[in-house]
Structure 1
Amino acid sequence: MTTTVKLPPELEQSLRQHCAAAGRGISEVMRDALAAYLASTPAAPASAWSLGADLFGRHAGPADLAAARRAHAGDAWAQKHARRRAAP
């Protein structure tokens, strides 16, 4: 793949001098520099899914909660109010 890179004149001059002194081509030095930069850059942050993958699907409630949500909500409401009435 061919890529064009625009460099400030000072950086281009330094690159050319380095390549001439080392006997290496500009493309070779640029490839090595880019590979070293990418290797030292931290990986992309983990996604929300990968961070919580061990937690997803671990609901401890009724298996039919979505389908029977009104009945379960009514049961929870009744239990809450039964505790209030039982407390002295």
Structure 2
Amino acid sequence: MAIEVKLPKEIELKIKSDKELEGIVKRKIEKQIFREIKEDIFLSMLFDKVLEASEVTEKEVDEIDHEVKKGIMENLGWR
């Protein structure tokens, strides 16, 4: 899946003109995205564990799960 990152034109041109710099920037962006996804998945798993021990209904759990995943997608700009 491709993710598009918008940069100021001057920076974009500088990065495109230097392949080594382009690779460094690409890896840094990928690491940052991976870290954010990993943190969001951890939070989702944590909430799942908390909800398992609670007295909320299955429907309420589904609604909370939906809202958490919606927030994750919005934070990542996927929505």
Q: Which has the higher contact order (CA 8 A, sep 6+)?
A: 2
Scaled by the length of structure 1, what TM-score is found?
Answer: 0.33
Whichever structure has more helix as a proportion of its residues is 2
